[in-house]
Amino acid sequence: MSDASPYDAVLLLSFGGPEGPDDVMPFLENVTRGRGIPRERLAAVAEHYLHFGGRSPINDQNKELLAQLRAELDARGLGGLPLLWGNRNWEPYVTDVLREAHEAGARRVLTIFTSAYSSYSSCRQYREDLGKTLEALAGEGRYLAVDKIRHYFNHPAFTDVNAQAVADALEDLPEDVRDGARVVFVTHSIPNAMDDASGDPAAGGGAYVRQHEDVAAQVAARAGTRAGRELAWDLVYCSRSGPPTQPWLEPDVNDHLRELHASGVPAVVVAPIGFVSDHMEVKFDLDTEAAETADEIGLPFARAATVGAHASFVAGLVDLVEERAAQARGEAPTTPATGSLGASHTVCPVDCCRNLRADLPAATGEDYRSPAQV
């Protein structure tokens, strides 16, 4: 029988996105506040959103994921468990959502991040926002405890759905180039220094790249089994936004597509394993820019789907909710994981994915003291 106790609500915590053209610049200012990003760079990124009418696809994708999570929770007998949605950078803001949850009686909340990997921008920054929210609510006399599920980059549900997506995309290529096609796995680029600080410092950092490489190998192996052959693959990056003087993870997907074509690769499947849904980096950086690059050089191109609200992925997230709840009750549930890295931590180690600009309180960590504890 399913059991989510001691949690009395589940929160889907995401990035957020503008709902219309007038929202775009205020949204980007929220995202980049305190980072000194030049106005002209924000204007350039704003054009990505305006290309799609000024509305990010991420909000509708989160609503669909919420609907599927609600259905899966209900099917497991957890219909009375409140399911919340909050964002870091746009409405509904997480502080407002947790304030309303407290008013409705919630005292211990379990969080699902819409990001599968370890790094400052994909984990600790969410944890800092939760820490800031808990401090703000405590100032109003509202005390909440917040936990999170573990990183799910190597949960079987995530790798298996991605593998099927790659296998399906291979079938979308022309038959005469399919057997020689190469898989190009794509994730969001981050500064090299951020990758160096990602993960548990005791493990030497570098978790962001290491996790992606492990997942890529697993997805390629599983997709290759479905395709009946071994698949060659690469890991590349998109969406670099830092100054030219700052080293970021490379190669860029567009540069890599040109190199593959020049070396005689007959076709590619581009697989966005770094992303949970088809939000702006996928729709613009891959479906628009990378597709245009492939068309320009005459390279047959198919894009694999993200996990989105796929039923198997959603079931895996609810499995992780049940797993974390069992751990919170002092039990020792099984923690399935593919690849060589094993199941990730649920309570982040001290200095995990360290903030290189400031030392800010980050919830759900070993060194975090909630306002109720101080």
All domains of the chain in start order, with CATH: 9-152+309-328 (3.40.50.1400), 156-303 (3.40.50.1400)
* Average pLDDT of every residue of the chain: 95
Query: What radius of gyration do the chain's Cα atoms show?
Result: 21
Q: Say yes or no to pLDDT of 147 above 70.
A: yes
Contact assessment for residue 290 and residue 254, using Cβ atoms and an 8 Å cutoff: yes
Tokens 């468990």 identify what position?
A: 81
Q: Say yes or no to pLDDT of 373 above 60.
A: no
* Tens-digit pLDDT profile for residues 243-257: 889 999 999 999 999
Report the pLDDT value the prediction gives residue 149, as an integer from 0 to 100.
98
Report the pLDDT value the prediction gives residue 172, as an integer from 0 to 100.
98
Cα separations in angstroms, 231 against 48, 155, 167, 239, 369: 32, 21, 10, 25, 47
> Is the Cα dihedral 358, 359, 363, 365 positive or negative?
positive
Which are the contacts of 288, defined by CB distance < 8 A and separation ≥ 6? 51
Q: Residue 103 and residue 246: Cα distance in Å, rounded?
A: 45
Report the pLDDT value the prediction gives residue 80, as an integer from 0 to 100.
95
Which are the contacts of 77, defined by CB distance < 8 A and separation ≥ 6? 1, 2
Report the pLDDT value the prediction gives residue 2, as an integer from 0 to 100.
84
Q: Please work out, in degrees rounded to the nearest 5, the angle formed at the alpha carbon of residue 332 by the alpha carbons of 329 and 333.
A: 100
Report the pLDDT value the prediction gives residue 36, as an integer from 0 to 100.
67
Half-sphere exposure of 211 (CA within 13 A, CB side): 30
Q: Which residues of 174-189 are buried (b: 16+ CB within 10 A; e: fewer)?
A: eeeebeebbbbbbbbb
Strand order in the sheet with 301-303: 233-238, 182-188, 268-271, 301-303
Report the pLDDT value the prediction gives residue 243, as an integer from 0 to 100.
81
Q: Please work out, in degrees rounded to the nearest 5, the angle formed at the alpha carbon of residue 190 by the alpha carbons of 337 and 85.
A: 60
What's the predicted TM-score (pTM) here? 0.95
What value does the mean pLDDT take over residues 174-200?
97
Q: What is the DSSP string of 57-91?
A: THHHHHHHHHHHHHHHHHHTT-TTS-EEEEESSSS
Tokens of residue 64, six digits: 């669909």
**Which conformational region is residue 142 in: left (phi greater than 0), alpha (psi within -120 to 50 degrees), or beta?**
beta
pLDDT band for 200, please (50, 70, 90 cuts): very high
What value does the mean pLDDT take over residues 157-186?
98
Q: Say yes or no to pLDDT of 52 above 90.
A: no
Which are the contacts of 245, defined by CB distance < 8 A and separation ≥ 6? none
Q: Say yes or no to pLDDT of 124 above 80.
A: yes
